[in-house]
Amino acid sequence: MDSKKYWVGFNLVKGIGAVRLQALLDHFGDLAMAWESPGDVLLAAGLSQKIITNFLAVRNGVDLDRFYEKIQQQGISVLTWQDEAYPARLREINQPPPVLYLKGTYQAEDAWCVAIVGTRRVTAYGQRVASELAAYLAQNGVTVISGLARGVDAIAHAAALNAGGRTLAVLGNGVDQIYPPENRKLYEQIVAHGGLLSDYAPGTPPDSANFPPRNRIISGLALATVVVEAGDTSGALITATFAVEQGRDVFAVPGSIYALQSKGANRLIQNGAHPLLEMRDVLEVMNLTQISQQRTARLILPDDPTEAQLYQALSDEPIHIDDICAQVELPIDRVSSTLAMMELKGLVRQIGGMSYIAIHEAQSSYIINGDH
């Protein structure tokens, strides 16, 4: 039996998240041993008595083999920290979800994705912006990600699909649960032309407490988050806050100072978010104007040892080319030409003054398919 079943098992235990799961891995070496351990051993591993009680209830009450088999029969893939195909950008955030459930596909091209979020009570203005922006991004090779909620989310997903692009939806329930129910057709279209993702196990019903945490995954997967319309208490603002904490760019669509739906978005701009004044603003600020060329370059231009060495030397913090040369001990002409090629591939970005940063994205050409 696939060892992933133990990741699924611990995912069912209330109170065991990224920190405690990592502690179990550190203590036992693998989750199979942790799953079979008695309570006193788990206590020694650092779990509280309350969590151990929760765990024992799950272990005794769930036929793990049958539960995991059912997941597979539903065409749902399980991605864990240990999988190469686990989204690279999500892996970078603090305490990424140990387990992701996927229905549909997650493809290498989805590394180029932008989140579009906003209020459920969207105005005609918001509808137009969300629709046009999602279509524009999709037509330019950017995957649109949102939360499949009513309003801005659903509009963005539908527009991306109608434009022939890909879209990802992160759910606050199991990927086998359709919520809201009126989005059934959209749900099925996303499975066919994108992916549904959740860190909640299949069978988990929608619950209001689940939605704020899932927003952290939306922003964590995305290069940037665009807030179209949001009131003062909108969940979209939670997504924007997570994006800032994760070091991702935030855009907001300016609106009337009299419109309740624009108060949150306008406030984001006041606090430093990029104002979205034209659809191309996202591509230009994020250096996404040459996505197709970058993809082609990655396919036809293989990596070489110098690229690997330079990529290792770079980080999210700008480094001047002179310092890069000193660090890797290579001549400046070789470093300069290699960085130019890496920039074409979308692996690095020059941010001015001959300083460079690394762009962390999925490097392989994998396709994870929920039908496997």
Query: 10 Å Cβ neighbour count for 102?
Result: 22
Q: Answer for the pair 31, 10: CB distance below 8 angstroms, yes or no.
A: yes
CA dihedral over 61, 26, 2, 195, signed as positive or negative = positive
Nearest to 297 by CA among 342, 334, 339: 342
pTM recorded for the entire structure: 0.79
Torsions phi, psi of 249, nearest 5?
-75, 145
Per-residue pLDDT of the chain (372 residues; tens, 9 = 90+): 578 999 999 999 999 999 999 999 999 999 999 999 998 999 988 899 999 999 999 999 999 999 999 999 999 999 999 998 899 899 999 999 999 999 999 998 898 899 999 999 999 999 999 999 999 999 998 999 999 999 999 999 999 999 999 999 999 999 999 999 999 999 999 999 999 999 999 999 999 889 889 999 999 999 999 999 998 888 899 999 999 999 999 999 999 999 999 999 999 999 999 999 999 999 888 777 666 566 556 555 556 788 888 988 888 788 999 999 999 999 998 898 898 888 877 778 887 778 888 875 433 333 445 443
Q: Answer for the pair 355, 320: CB distance below 8 angstroms, yes or no.
A: yes
Nearest to 120 by CA among 236, 257, 255, 208: 236
Q: Answer for the pair 154, 179: CB distance below 8 angstroms, yes or no.
A: no
Tokens of 155: 């509009």
Query: Tens of pLDDT along 210-231?
Result: 988 999 999 999 999 999 999 8
Query: Tens of pLDDT along 34-72?
Result: 999 998 999 988 899 999 999 999 999 999 999 999 999
Where do the structural domains in the chain lie, given as residue ranges?
4-73, 90-285, 291-358
Distances (CA, A) of 35 to 6, 11, 30, 41, 203: 7, 12, 9, 11, 21
Element (H, E) at 33: helix 31-36
Q: Which CATH architecture has domain 90-285?
A: 3-Layer(aba) Sandwich (3.40)
Torsions phi, psi of 227, nearest 5?
-95, 115
Q: Can you tell me the distance from the alpha carbon of 121 to that of 81, in angstroms, rounded to the nearest whole number?
A: 36
Report strand pairing: 99-107 vs 194-198. Answer: antiparallel
Q: Answer for the pair 165, 137: CB distance below 8 angstroms, yes or no.
A: yes
Query: Tens of pLDDT along 302-351?
Result: 567 888 889 888 887 889 999 999 999 999 988 988 988 888 777 788 87
Tokens of 239: 């997504």
Model pLDDT, residue 358? 84
Torsions phi, psi of 30, nearest 5?
-155, 160
- Return the SS3 of 365: coil
Model pLDDT, residue 84? 87
CATH class of the 291-358 domain in this structure: mainly alpha
Q: Which residue has the tokens 């979308």?
A: 346
Give, in degrees to the nearest 5, the angle at Cα 235 between 202 and 127.
100
Q: Can you tell me the distance from the alpha carbon of 24 to that of 156, in angstroms, rounded to the nearest whole number?
A: 39
CA dihedral over 156, 359, 198, 232, signed as positive or negative = negative
